[in-house]
Amino acid sequence: MSIEPVNIASSSIALLFLLVALAAVLRRKQHALIAVCSLVAGLASLLSVMAGVWTVGSNITGQVILPIGLPDLPFHLRLDPLAGFFLTVIGLLSFFVSVYSAGYLKGFLGHRPVTRLVVFYSLFIAGMFMVVLADDALFFLVSWEVMAAASYFLVMFEDERPENRRAALLYLVVAHVGAIAILLSFGVMAGITTGFESFNGYTFDAMRQAKFPVAWATAAFLLSFFGFAAKAGVVPLHVWLPEAHPVAPSNVSALMSGVMLKTAIYGIVRVTFDLLKVFPWWWGAVVLVFGLVSAVMGVLYALMQHDLKRLLAYHSVENIGIILIGIGLAMIFTSFQLPMLAALALIAGLYHTLNHAMFKGLLFMGAGAVLHATKERNMEEMGGLIHRMPWTAALFLVGCVSISALPPFNGFVSEWLTFQAFLLSPALPNPLIRLLIPLGAALLALTGALAAACFVKAFGVTFLGHWRGRHNPPVHEADWYMRSGMLMAALTCLCLGIFPTIVIDWMDIIPEQLVGSKIAATAGAYGWMWLTPVAPERASYSGPIVFVGFVFIFAVVYLILHVRAGKIHRRPIWDCGFEKINERMQYNATSFSMPIRRIFGFPFHVKELVRLAPQSAHAAFPKQLHYFLRVRDRFWGWVYKPIIGASFWVSRRIGNLQRGRIQTYLIYSFITIIILLVFTR
C-alpha cells in the first residue's frame, strides 16, 4: 500500500476505531484512558489534517473501494479537494479539542466514568471523517447515522438531568427527519441515474455522470437542502441546536458547533455543485434567503440569551447563515454563467466555514473552561473572571473579536469577501435578484453589527466587572492542556486573519473544480501581503500591514507616554461620585440587551412583568422588586407545536387499532391477506 492521502485518511479512521477498543480495555483505569484518548484522537486528527492539506494542495483525487457493506454494494471512499478541505477543517478542530479534552475530562473523574464519553467521542470524529470521505449514498448515510447517533449519546452524557434527556430526544428526532429527507433525495438521484429497478446508481460517480431532468433535480435538491438544513440548524429548523449544544460536555459542544454543522454545508455543496451541477437561479435564491433569515434571527436570538453556551449555540445558527449566503451567491452566479464571481462567493463561504470552525471551537472551549471553573452557565451570576482566569479571558476575547468580524482577525476576512461578492452583483441580469441583493447586503451588515453587540455582552458580563453571584465559588484557571488547546485555536484565528492570501491560494482548486474558475491569480497578484479578490483598484486589504500597523502605533504611543514616569494610583470606583455601589448594580446580560430587545423584540414572544412589593408603612418606598422575563421562540408555537400535536393525534387514532382482543387481530390478518391476494396476483 503506497502512501497516498486517501490511505492516510483511512488509517486515521482506523485509529479512531482502535480507540473505541482501547476504551473498553482501559475502562478501569480512567486516568490512563483520558491520556490515551487525547493522544490517539489527536494523532488521528493530525493524520487527517495531513491528508486534507496534501489533497487540496496538490490536487489529488484518490479512491478506495472497501469490500464491506451489503452484498454487491461495497463502500466507496473518495478524497477529492472538496472533501480534503472539510477533512482539514474537521481534523484541525478535532486536534485542538482533543488536546483540550486531556484537561477537561479530568473534571469528570470521581463523579462519573468517562468510558462512554471516550467511546462516542472517537466514533463521533470517525463519523465526521467518514461523511466527507463517502463516495456512495449508502456509505454516506451509514456515516451520517454514526455521526448522529454518537453525538446523541454525547448529548445524553449527563443523563440524570431531565433537560438533557429532552434535548437529546429533540436532537435525535430532528436529525432523523433530516436523514429521511437526505435518504429520499439520494433515492431520487439514484433512481434517475439507473432507473428504479437497479441499484448501481447509488455511487456518487454514477450520479456525476447522469443528466437529471429539471423537475427531478429540483425535487432532489429541495429534499437534500431540507435534510442538510435540519442538521445545520437553519431557521426554522434550528430549535434543537440551542437545546442540545449547551447540555453536551463542552469539548463535544465545540466539535458539534464547530465542525458537525459543517458536514451539512459539505453535503449542500457536494449535492448541488458536484452531483446535480446544473441548476436554475432560484435554487441559489432559496439558499440565500434561508441564509439571510438564519443569520439575522440567529444573532437576535443570541442577544436574548443569558446562558453562555446557549448564546454561543445561537451564534452557530447565525454563522451557518453567513456561510449559506456565500454559497447561495455562488449558486446564483453559477447559474448565470459568471464563474469568476461564483468562485469568489464560494471561497467566501468556504473560508467562513474554516473560520467559524476555529473561533466557535475556541469560544466553546473557553465557555467549557468557565463552566469547569465556576460550575455556572448563567452569565447573570458571573463577572470579574478576567482577574482569576487571565489566560482563558484573553483567549476567549480573541474568539469574541474574531466572531464579531473585526480586523485583523479571521471573521472579518470572510465577511469582507462576502461583501465583495455582494458588490459584484450588478452583473446579474435578473430584476428580482437585483431587489434581493441590496436587502441581503443590508441584513448581513446588520448581522455583523449585532454580533459585535452580543459579544461585548458575552465577554463583558462574563469576564469583566465584579462577580455578580450571591455565592462566590473558588475559581481556578484552566490547566495547561485546556490552555494549549485554546491557544492553538486562537493563533489559528489570528493567522487566518493575517495571511488570507496563502490560505486562498491553497484552497483555490475547489472553486476551479466546482464552478470552473479560480481567484488566486488575482487575489494574490500583488504578493502574499495584499488580498485583492477581483482587481487591486476594485478592492484591497492587507492583513499583515493592518496588524503590524496596530502593533507599531501602539508601541510608539506607549513609549512616548512612558518616557516621563507617570504614576498610576489605584483608587475605589468613582462612578460619578455615587456611594454604596455594589455588585448587584452592575449591568448584566438581561439589562445589557434591553434596548435591543425593545427595538428588535417583534420576532419574539416576550413576556415581561415587573411587580413592586410595597413596604407596609410607606407605599412609595417599595421593599422588593420582582422582575420576570421570558423570551420565547415564535417558531416553536407556529411550527413545532402543531406538528407535535398532529403526530400525537395521529398516533392516538392509530393506537385505536390496538384493541387487545385476539378476534380483532385475526380480522386484521384476514383483511391483509385478502388485499395482498387482490393486488399481487
Partner 1 sequence: MILRQLAIEIVQVALLIGLSPLFIGWVRMLKCWSQGRSSAGILQPYRDLAKLFAKDVILAENASWIFRFTPYLVFGTAVLAGGIIPILSVDLPLAPTADVIVLVGFFAVARFFTALAGMDIGAAFGGMGSSREMTIASLAEPAMLMSIFTVSLANQSTSLSYIVQVICSGQSVLRPSLAFAFLAFVLITLTETGRIPVDNPSTHLELTMIHEAMILEYSGRHLALIEWAGMMKLSLFVMLGIACFAPWGIASGVGLMEIVTAFIAMTLKLGLVAFGIVLIETGLAKMRLFRLTEFLGTAFLMATLGMLSFYILE
User: Interface residues for partner 1 in 551-580 (CB under 8 A)?
Assistant: 553-554, 557-558, 561, 566-576, 578
171 or 409, CB closer to partner 1?
409
* Least distance in angstroms from the C-beta of 408 to partner 1: 9
* Least distance in angstroms from the C-beta of 394 to partner 1: 8
Distance CA 242, CA 312 (A): 8
Q: Which of 162, 213, 426, 429 binds partner 1 (CB under 8 A)?
A: 426
375 or 538, CB closer to partner 1?
538
Nearest Cα neighbor of 140 from 187, 81, 97, 209 is 187
Q: Look at the alpha carbons of 138, 143, 146, 152 in this order and tell me if their dihedral is positive or negative.
A: negative
573 or 678, CB closer to partner 1?
573
Find out whether 641 and 239 touch, Cβ atoms under 8 Å: no
* Least distance in angstroms from the C-beta of 375 to partner 1: 22
User: Would you tell me the crossing angle of helices 162-194 and 137-155 to the nearest 10 degrees?
Assistant: 180
Grid coordinates 432560484 are at which residue?
A: 282
Distance CA 638, CA 649 (A): 17
Q: The C-alpha cell of 63 is what?
A: 479512491
* Least distance in angstroms from the C-beta of 97 to partner 1: 27
Find out whether 94 and 37 touch, Cβ atoms under 8 Å: no
Amino acid identity, position 681: R
* Least distance in angstroms from the C-beta of 371 to partner 1: 21
Q: Look at the alpha carbons of 435, 438, 439, 441 in this order and tell me if their dihedral is positive or negative.
A: positive
User: Which window, 64-72, 158-166, 264-272, 428-436, contacts partner 1 (CB under 8 A)?
Assistant: 428-436
CB environment 242-268: b (16+ within 10 A), e (fewer): bbbbbbbbbbbbbbbbbbbbbbbbbbb
Q: Kindly identify the residues of this chain, within the stretch 354-393, that bind partner 1 according to CB under 8 A.
A: 383-384, 386-387, 393
User: Which window, 172-180, 230-238, 495-503, 585-593, contacts partner 1 (CB under 8 A)?
Assistant: 585-593
Residues 6 or more apart from 134 whose CB is under 8 A from it? 75, 76, 77, 78, 140, 142, 143, 204
* Least distance in angstroms from the C-beta of 646 to partner 1: 38
Q: The C-alpha cell of 526 is what?
A: 500583488
173 or 452, CB closer to partner 1?
452
Q: Is 604 helix (H, G, I), strand (E, B) or coil?
A: strand
Q: Is 576 helix (H, G, I), strand (E, B) or coil?
A: helix
Distance CA 307, CA 558 (A): 38
For residue 574, what are the CA distances in angstroms to 143, 494, 551, 571? 60, 36, 31, 8
546 binds partner 1 (CB under 8 A): yes
Q: Kindly identify the residues of this chain, within the stretch 443-502, that bind partner 1 according to CB under 8 A.
A: 445-446, 448-450, 452-453, 455-457, 459-461, 464-466
Q: Which of 545, 606, 629, 639 binds partner 1 (CB under 8 A)?
A: 545
Q: Which of 195, 280, 473, 595 binds partner 1 (CB under 8 A)?
A: 595
User: Which window, 46-54, 272-280, 374-382, 525-533, contacts partner 1 (CB under 8 A)?
Assistant: 525-533
528 binds partner 1 (CB under 8 A): no
Q: Kindly identify the residues of this chain, within the stretch 147-166, that bind partner 1 according to CB under 8 A.
A: none
* Least distance in angstroms from the C-beta of 427 to partner 1: 11
Contacts with partner 1, 599-638, as mask; x by CB under 8 A: x---------------------------------------
Helix locations, 233-280, DSSP H: 240-247, 250-255, 261-269
Q: Which of 24, 214, 432, 439 binds partner 1 (CB under 8 A)?
A: 439
666 binds partner 1 (CB under 8 A): no
Residues 6 or more apart from 325 whose CB is under 8 A from it? 288, 291, 292, 295, 349, 418, 440, 444
Distance CA 96, CA 89 (A): 11
* Element (DSSP H or E) covering residue 623: strand 622-633
Q: Look at the alpha carbons of 196, 201, 207, 210 in this order and tell me if their dihedral is positive or negative.
A: negative
* Least distance in angstroms from the C-beta of 442 to partner 1: 5
Size of the site for partner 1 (CB under 8 A): 86
289 binds partner 1 (CB under 8 A): no
Task: Tell me whether residue 154 is exposed, middle or buried, using C-beta atoms within 10 angstroms of its C-beta: 0 to 12, 13 to 18, 19 or more.
Answer: buried
* Least distance in angstroms from the C-beta of 334 to partner 1: 21
* Least distance in angstroms from the C-beta of 182 to partner 1: 35
146 or 453, CB closer to partner 1?
453
* Least distance in angstroms from the C-beta of 426 to partner 1: 6
539 binds partner 1 (CB under 8 A): yes
Q: Is 605 helix (H, G, I), strand (E, B) or coil?
A: strand
Q: Which of 31, 598, 632, 634 binds partner 1 (CB under 8 A)?
A: 598
* Least distance in angstroms from the C-beta of 382 to partner 1: 12
75 or 416, CB closer to partner 1?
416
User: Which window, 58-66, 347-355, 440-448, 615-623, contacts partner 1 (CB under 8 A)?
Assistant: 440-448
Q: What are phi and psi of 307, to 5 degrees?
A: -95, 120
550 or 627, CB closer to partner 1?
550
Q: Look at the alpha carbons of 14, 15, 20, 24 in this order and tell me if their dihedral is positive or negative.
A: positive
User: Would you tell me the crossing angle of helices 81-104 and 5-25 to the nearest 10 degrees?
Assistant: 30
191 or 601, CB closer to partner 1?
601
Find out whether 170 and 248 touch, Cβ atoms under 8 Å: no
Q: Which of 113, 280, 549, 642 binds partner 1 (CB under 8 A)?
A: 549
* Least distance in angstroms from the C-beta of 380 to partner 1: 13
594 binds partner 1 (CB under 8 A): yes
432 binds partner 1 (CB under 8 A): no
User: Which window, 148-156, 359-367, 437-445, 481-489, contacts partner 1 (CB under 8 A)?
Assistant: 437-445
* Least distance in angstroms from the C-beta of 296 to partner 1: 11
Taking residue 414's Cβ as centre, other Cβ atoms within 10 Å add up to 27
169 or 596, CB closer to partner 1?
596
Amino acid identity, position 137: A
Q: Which of 420, 492, 501, 517 binds partner 1 (CB under 8 A)?
A: 420
Q: The C-alpha cell of 23 is what?
A: 476504551
* Least distance in angstroms from the C-beta of 158 to partner 1: 32
Q: Which of 35, 149, 581, 629 binds partner 1 (CB under 8 A)?
A: 581
